[in-house]
Amino acid sequence: MALKTPNNQLKPQSPNHSFNPSTHQPINQPMNIRLFKPSLGEEELAAIKDAFDRSWVGLGPKVEEFENAWAKFIGCKIAVGVNSATAALHLALACFGFPEGKKVLVPSLTFSSTASAVLYNRLIPVFIDSDRVTLGINLEDLEKKYDKDCVAVIPVHYAGHPVPMDILVPWAREKGLKVIEDCAHTAGGIFKGKALGTWGDIGCFSFEEKKCMTTGDGGMMVTNNPDLFKNVKAMRWVGIDKDNWKTAQKYTEANHDAMHWFYELNVLGYKYNMNDLAASIGLVQLSKLPGFNKKRSIIISNYLKGLESVQEITPLLPFEPENFTYQIFGIRTTSRDRLMIHLKRKGVSTGCHYTPLTLQPLFKNFFYPCPIAEEEYCKFISLPLHPDLAEEEVAFIIEEIKNFKFGE
Ligand SMILES: *Cc1c(COP(=O)(O)O)cnc(C)c1O
């Protein structure tokens, strides 16, 4: 027997209540515009239903299908699905087996995971300042803080804006540093004809719900170096590699009592695997991703055009929406806190990406001065950016920024 949903309770109470068809906002009601919002539809629901019907929701064939589709999309040899970009970053460093206590160069202006992954591996984060203009990792500071104990660098394509990998990678190679790209803010971005995520040794992507596309939670590791990933499938799944079943083959052949239960543990693994439910959503989201990226680019162009005349603000960074794919849009202003409160009153969610990690108590023992990031972040406001953001909503946000009294 099907349960009946009390639909009438979900309907607006007031009989006169009407909705703007393009924004889905109630007319004459305050706005309620989210900063990020996943764009999910019936197609994703149908894909989950399919996984239900097969009764296979754990690590299974859909994960492999999504991995292959992702490798093809990015244009790399191998992709391995995990349950977050945090896990991807942890495993990416683990792939190299660096001795405990070595140093990894990371930007200060990033999400916690970029540096936490360093600590998970018993390595030391060396925090690098931001480029004043692009807010990506500062190449001069990188050179300055590098020493012989450094083993890797993790550039973050901040907001989706590419780090100049054509300069960073040759520099890192010369120093013998491994390069792991934190691509959590981009999915499908291309820099100088080469996909972001394929410039370094390993690229890490995020499918958390606020990112370019989502699987609820999820992540992907990519490489063009199969040797590097030889243990990664075991590392993401409690030490068991499905290929171990092949090892079992010889037992099976020799002994009619099948050794189908056999597996061998060779590496320390984590419970980091992606599952078939997430992969089913991911396959659908991937097919929509080019559309999402295009939509975000159009929104950024509209913001840039609409805000051009406002003297008191500058774009967060030199956005090139026609060339790159962005997950974050924002502005800089010295009236940051007051403008945030103004927008909040008008129903517009905003954010600050990020408080530099060098200011976080967790990292207080890793003292590396990052004066540009620490000075500039006080001016950052991230503005709503997601594929379902309506033109009227962007126009409303622009109007509210223009209405704001900066000079008081
Ligand atoms: C979101 C994010 C991550 C972590 O992604 P999860 O999938 O949530 O683990 C890592 N790095 C950066 C820069 C991020 O923004």
Whether 231 is in the pocket of ligand 1, judged by its Cβ within 6 Å, is no
- Look at the block and give the residue holding tokens 């103004």: 342
Q: What is the pLDDT of residue 20?
A: 66
Whether 84 is in the pocket of ligand 1, judged by its Cβ within 6 Å, is yes
Q: Which residue CA neighbors atom 1 of ligand 1 most closely?
A: 184
Give the helix/strand (H/E) hosting 380: strand 380-383
All domains of the chain, ordered by start, with CATH?
Answer: 18-30+289-403 (3.90.1150.10), 42-285 (3.40.640.10)
Q: How far is CA 374 from CA 127, 183, 346, 368, in A?
A: 12, 23, 29, 11
Q: Which atom of ligand 1 is nearest to the CA of 206?
A: 7
Q: What is the pLDDT of residue 18?
A: 62
Cα 364 to Cα 45: distance, rounded to the nearest angstrom: 44
Distance 374 CA to ligand 1 centre (A): 21
Residue 17: pLDDT above 90? no
Cα-based angle 106, 110, 115 (whole degrees, multiple of 5) = 45
Distance 44 CA to ligand 1 centre (A): 22
Residue 391: pLDDT above 60? yes
- From the list 237, 5, 221, the residue with the least C-alpha distance to 92 is 221
Give tens-digit pLDDT for 102-159.
999 999 999 999 999 999 999 999 999 999 999 999 999 999 999 999 999 999 999 9
Distance 261 CA to ligand 1 centre (A): 36
Give tens-digit pLDDT for 300-319.
999 999 999 999 999 999 99
Q: Which atom of ligand 1 is nearest to the CA of 219?
A: 7
Distance 183 CA to ligand 1 centre (A): 8
Residue 244: pLDDT above 90? no
What would you report as the CA-atom Rg of the chain, rounded to the nearest whole angstrom? 23
Distance 253 CA to ligand 1 centre (A): 45
Cα 200 to Cα 152: distance, rounded to the nearest angstrom: 10
Q: What is the pLDDT of residue 24?
A: 64
Distance 323 CA to ligand 1 centre (A): 23
Mean pLDDT taken over the chain: 92
Whether 182 is in the pocket of ligand 1, judged by its Cβ within 6 Å, is yes
Cα 113 to Cα 119: distance, rounded to the nearest angstrom: 10
Distance 206 CA to ligand 1 centre (A): 6
CB of 147 closer than 8 Å to CB of 158: no
Q: Which atom of ligand 1 is nearest to the CA of 185?
A: 15
Q: Is 53 exposed, middle or buried (0-12, 13-18, 19+ CB in 10 A)?
A: exposed
Residue 11, sorted as left (phi over 0), alpha (psi -120 to 50) or beta, turns out to be: beta
Which of 119, 211, 328 for a ligand 1 pocket mutation test, highest count of atoms within 8 Å of Cβ? 211
User: 64 is written with which tokens?
Assistant: 């492999």
Length of the chain: 408
Distance 19 CA to ligand 1 centre (A): 35
Q: What is the pLDDT of residue 325?
A: 97
Cα 404 to Cα 312: distance, rounded to the nearest angstrom: 10
At 80, is the pLDDT very low, low, confident or very high (cuts 50, 70, 90)? very high
Give tens-digit pLDDT for 1-12.
444 444 434 444
At 15, is the pLDDT very low, low, confident or very high (cuts 50, 70, 90)? very low
Q: What is the pLDDT of residue 14?
A: 45
- Look up residue 379 and give its DSSP letter: G
Distance 131 CA to ligand 1 centre (A): 20
Which of 84, 111, 213, 281 for a ligand 1 pocket mutation test, highest count of atoms within 8 Å of Cβ? 111
Distance 213 CA to ligand 1 centre (A): 12
Whether 110 is in the pocket of ligand 1, judged by its Cβ within 6 Å, is yes
Q: Which residue CA neighbors atom 2 of ligand 1 most closely?
A: 184
Cα 365 to Cα 292: distance, rounded to the nearest angstrom: 40
Three-state SS for 203-234 is EEEECCCCCCCCCCCCEEEEECCHHHHCCHHH
- Look up residue 329 and give its DSSP letter: E
Q: How far is CA 180 from CA 74, 118, 300, in A?
A: 16, 11, 28
Whether 154 is in the pocket of ligand 1, judged by its Cβ within 6 Å, is no
Q: What is the pLDDT of residue 22?
A: 66
Cα-based angle 128, 134, 135 (whole degrees, multiple of 5) = 35
Sequence-ordered alpha helix ranges (H) in 221-362: 232-235, 244-254, 276-307, 336-345
Cα 95 to Cα 80: distance, rounded to the nearest angstrom: 13
Cα 287 to Cα 213: distance, rounded to the nearest angstrom: 10
Whether 85 is in the pocket of ligand 1, judged by its Cβ within 6 Å, is yes
Cβ atoms within 10 Å of 6's Cβ, excluding its own: 7
Residue 19: pLDDT above 70? no
At 241, is the pLDDT very low, low, confident or very high (cuts 50, 70, 90)? confident
Residue 21: pLDDT above 80? no
- Look up residue 153 and give its DSSP letter: E
Q: What is the pLDDT of residue 329?
A: 98
Give tens-digit pLDDT for 366-388.
999 999 999 999 999 999 999 99
Cα 299 to Cα 293: distance, rounded to the nearest angstrom: 10
Q: What is the pLDDT of residue 246?
A: 54
Q: What is the pLDDT of residue 30?
A: 79
Cβ atoms within 10 Å of 171's Cβ, excluding its own: 15
Whether pTM exceeds 0.75: yes
At 264, is the pLDDT very low, low, confident or very high (cuts 50, 70, 90)? confident
Q: What is the pLDDT of residue 301?
A: 98
Give tens-digit pLDDT for 173-212.
999 999 999 999 999 999 999 999 999 999 999 999 999 9
- From the list 71, 82, 369, the residue with the least C-alpha distance to 236 is 82
- Look at the block and give the residue holding tokens 């003297």: 311
The arrangement of strands across the sheet holding 329-332 comes to 314-315, 329-332, 380-383
Whether 181 is in the pocket of ligand 1, judged by its Cβ within 6 Å, is no
Cα 51 to Cα 271: distance, rounded to the nearest angstrom: 21
CB of 270 closer than 8 Å to CB of 232: no
Whether 382 is in the pocket of ligand 1, judged by its Cβ within 6 Å, is no
Distance 117 CA to ligand 1 centre (A): 11
